[in-house]
């Protein structure tokens, strides 16, 4: 039988959520490893985890759409923004800022390429 594609989500939900929270309970339930769960228990975890994953994807899509919408107004400034970000990446001394600038540059560059300007 083929593995259910939701299983990794359910397993993560179980191992990262259910087991640690249960261990913190004053009177823990008998919650064992994923392999010991019944099909019904696995289905519950897979449905819950899949719903959370779907919402996260939807939220990320809304954020990306909003960023695109905002950047469309800056379309003419795209090349200048990319140049400024390139300079920032090359000259910034702090790694946490360099990483942020690199990620921003990549996002703006992808938008520029998508509009045919890049």
pLDDT tens digits, residue range 87-106?
877 777 777 777 777 888 78
Check whether residue 6 and residue 56 sit in a common domain.
yes
Residue 35: is its pLDDT beyond 80? yes
Check whether residue 11 and residue 63 sit in a common domain.
yes
At 5, is the secondary structure helix, strand, or coil? Answer: coil
- Token pair, residue 82, equals 């990319």
- Under the banding of pLDDT at 50, 70 and 90, the label for residue 26 is very high
- Under the banding of pLDDT at 50, 70 and 90, the label for residue 40 is very high
Check whether residue 22 and residue 55 sit in a common domain.
yes
> Over the chain, what is the mean pLDDT?
80
Check whether residue 1 and residue 56 sit in a common domain.
yes
Domain tally for the chain? 2
Check whether residue 108 and residue 52 sit in a common domain.
no
Check whether residue 14 and residue 63 sit in a common domain.
yes
Instruction: Tell me the pTM.
Output: 0.50
pLDDT of the residue at 99: 79
Check whether residue 50 and residue 67 sit in a common domain.
yes
Per-residue pLDDT tens over the stretch 43-64: 999 998 888 888 887 777 777 7
Check whether residue 87 and residue 55 sit in a common domain.
no
Check whether residue 27 and residue 58 sit in a common domain.
yes
Q: Domain containing 23: what range?
A: 1-72
Q: Which residues contact 11 (CB under 8 A, 6 or more apart)?
A: 34, 45
């Amino acid at each position: 039988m083929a593995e259910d594609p939701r299983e990794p989500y359910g397993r993560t939900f179980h191992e990262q959520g259910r087991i640690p929270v249960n261990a913190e309970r004053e009177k823990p339930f008998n919650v064992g490893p994923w392999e010991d769960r019944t099909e019904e228990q696995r289905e519950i975890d897979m449905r819950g985890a899949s719903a959370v994953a779907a919402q996260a994807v939807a939220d990320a899509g809304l954020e990306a759409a909003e960023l695109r919408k905002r950047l469309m107004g800056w379309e003419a400034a795209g090349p200048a923004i990319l140049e400024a970000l390139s300079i920032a990446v090359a000259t910034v001394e702090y790694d946490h800022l360099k990483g942020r600038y690199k990620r921003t540059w990549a996002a703006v560059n992808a938008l520029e390429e998508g509009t045919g300007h890049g």
